[in-house]
Amino acid sequence: MEKKDVLQMNGVALAYMGDAIYEVYVRKFLMETGVHRPAQFHHRAKQYVSAKAQAFLWQEMTAAELLSEAEVSIFKRGRNAHTHTKAKNTDAKTYAISTGFEAVLGYLYLTEETARLEEIINWCIAKIGKVDKYDPK
């Protein structure tokens, strides 16, 4: 897709794609680390892909100044978008932040910025692997 076309998409559409892409990378990572039983797989995957985990990661990426101005702008578009769905197992603010997080990943995927996408996802996977518990504020 052309970058200009992706920039015309709303934040929810970008988040929809970003959610799927992040899930695939996390599943691949877990399979590579030897997780194969469905119950264990689901439990471990949730540690990486839940709205709370994504909000925590956003907070950590912001503190580390990991994202460009353009990526922060895409995040804000996703965060501020009206999702028309109710957050499950979390509050509306955390859900909105996770939508913004996913929008960034969707944007990078659709603009075929694969190296940058993988850099961010690998950073996120490593960050979650280093914490016992995350608490987004």
Out of 19, 91, 132, 135, pick the active-site residue: 19
| Residue 137 pLDDT grade (very low, low, confident, very high; cuts 50, 70, 90) | very low
CA 123 to chain centre: 11
Question: What is the fold of 3-129?
Answer: Ribonuclease iii, N-terminal Endonuclease Domain; Chain A (1.10.1520)
Q: Is the pTM of this model over 0.85?
A: yes
Nearest to 48 by CA among 64, 28, 70, 71: 28
Q: What is the CA angle 48-97-28, rounded to 5?
A: 25
> How far is the C-alpha of 51 from the C-alpha of 10, rounded, in Å?
19
**Percentage of the chain lying above the pLDDT 90 cut:** 66
Count of CB atoms situated within 10 Å of the CB of 83? 15
DSSP SS3 for 90: coil
19 belongs to the catalytic site: yes
Task: Identify the top-confidence range among 35-39, 73-77, 84-88, 130-134.
Answer: 73-77
Summarize pLDDT for 27-78 with one digit per residue, the tens: 999 999 887 788 888 888 888 999 999 999 999 999 999 999 999 999 999 9
| Residue 132 pLDDT grade (very low, low, confident, very high; cuts 50, 70, 90) | low
CA atoms within 13 A on the CB side of 46: 9
DSSP H helices, the chain, are 3-7, 11-32, 38-49, 51-63, 69-80, 92-110, 114-129
